[in-house]
Structure 1
Amino acid sequence: MAKKLLIIDTDCGIDDAQAIMMALAAPGVQILGITCCFGNTAVDNVCQNVLRVLAVCEQQQIPVFRGAAVSLVGGKQAPNDHFGGDGFGDMLEGRDPQWKEKIQKEHAVDAMIRLVNENQKQVSLVGLGPLTNLALALRLDPQFPQKLNELFIMGGNMEGKGNVTLCGEFNFVMDPESAYVVLEEFLCPTHIATWEYCCRHKLTWEFFNELINQDTPAARLMKLITSRCWSYSKEAMMNKRDVYFGPGFVSYDSYAMAAFIDRAVVTENVECPVRVELQGSICRGMMALDQTNALRKSHRVFVMNNCDLAKFRNLLTESLRQPLNK
């Protein structure tokens, strides 16, 4: 059976790394390239983090492309230290001083367009960060979305609960205009793992400890980069910051990747039009679900609602049994 072709667009922090490892471990997936975007950290750090993951998993043949360093409209984004200043818990051990030489010269957006044009209707795109590169690809090639097979996104929300603002999820808040453009103009089949979906299906800290204590290079990297990270602290996650969903371990971007790898991981979707709000100090960046067809939009997306946690746990476990011979 032919492998599913994939482009990963990422702002590589710790959960992105986990999602990338999940795709690397999936026997039915061929990664054509990884495109980098600002978000969890500056885009140069993102590039280095991706290279570090590929090196540990012995998959350095996969090309990595540098993309957007700022949002579509520009302006200053709020600093983010959710995964440390470098996105990897500020654990510098293992960084490659020659990393710039290993990044492709082609811009990420140009590469994205080229790879999809070369494999029309065969490539799926998984977006794990702000959607700036995707919006730019659309503006350069208005036919780009219809040449895709499917789009999977980790971002947005479905209940108006935010994690960086009152109503906004991080990836969409970092570039609301790009999120708006993508969800208005990408008419390919689109699947969204929202912040609330991920949080509702969090895993136990006991499972997390088993996961990172596997005796493999990938697991050792995850143990290292989570060791000083607030987001992977059991004690911190049990405080009032987790008032909505209760304590537990969440690898946000992995939920979108798992849905791409195995559709059966998602057991229920809400299928409806959506729109990203661009106005206001409270709701800017919020994704609204239109379940009454008030917007009169023809395009409907699949918003993930329920998850098979046994299948998801298995994909996470397999992702850290690397390097693998695919």
Structure 2
Amino acid sequence: MTTWKNTEKLSEIPAQDQQWPGTEAALNPAADHGETTWVGRERLTGKKALITGGDSGIGRAVAIAFAKEGADVAITHLPDESKDAAEVKEAVEAAGRTCVVIEVDLRTEEACAHAVATAVDGLGGLDVVINNAAFQMAQPDFPDFPGDQIERTFATNVFATFWTTKAATPHLGEGSTVINTTSIQAYSPSEPLLDYAATKAALNNLTVNLASELGSRGIRVNAVAPGPIWTPLIPSTFDGEKVEGFGADTPLGRAGQPIEVASAFVYLASDEASYVSGTVLGVTGGKPVF
């Protein structure tokens, strides 16, 4: 039986904060991305995957798990996330796989097309698209909600998913797959994350619609809806006291590790999920996804 690193500490996360977008090195306790805990079983051998937001958190764990399962990966990251991205590249290459690192802000259609083209060129093709890049920032006072934030949140979370998938579709063939990262927030929204929660609900709808649209091409489209997962996004978007005890309100009594979410992406990208499309798979520690 696998025991993920530091899960016992995730039921008592101390108060802390970071400057956005946060770094993995500053997390207390450290998060587990599968560097030493994930055991590959050749479930993705030969596949080529683009993972947006692959420098930290869930995206980082997905990149490492995919590499250990035999996939080559391309990851995107923002300029402030270069150090974390370099660590992912090192981990992927240590697993014997190729890692293409793409510094890009995905808030325009041109940027998304560039990311896809760079991934296809660097990997020699594309089989899997993971739309994982996201922006969130808690805003406790609705009357003071900044107008530019809702534009940034929708551009990063929804528009970039649409544009990236659109650009990738001509490169995807029979058996390819698109996986979107949604959230428990789509089902049980928190008031301070009003805009973020709305984007995740939109992605659930987009996932189902894209599954219908692309099914005739043999392309499967699914989503993973994480619950409270311990990533730099949490201390960099909430006040320190709000971070304390993060995830303790789940039925399992703790936050989840990024690698515990990555397992869902591995399944959905693998041939084991060949008849799974248009579904949203919850990884929430027991919080309901319906």
Report which of the two has the higher share of helix. Answer: 2
Greater relative contact order, per chain length (Cα 8 Å cut-off, separation 6+): 2
TM-score norm. by structure 1 comes to 0.45
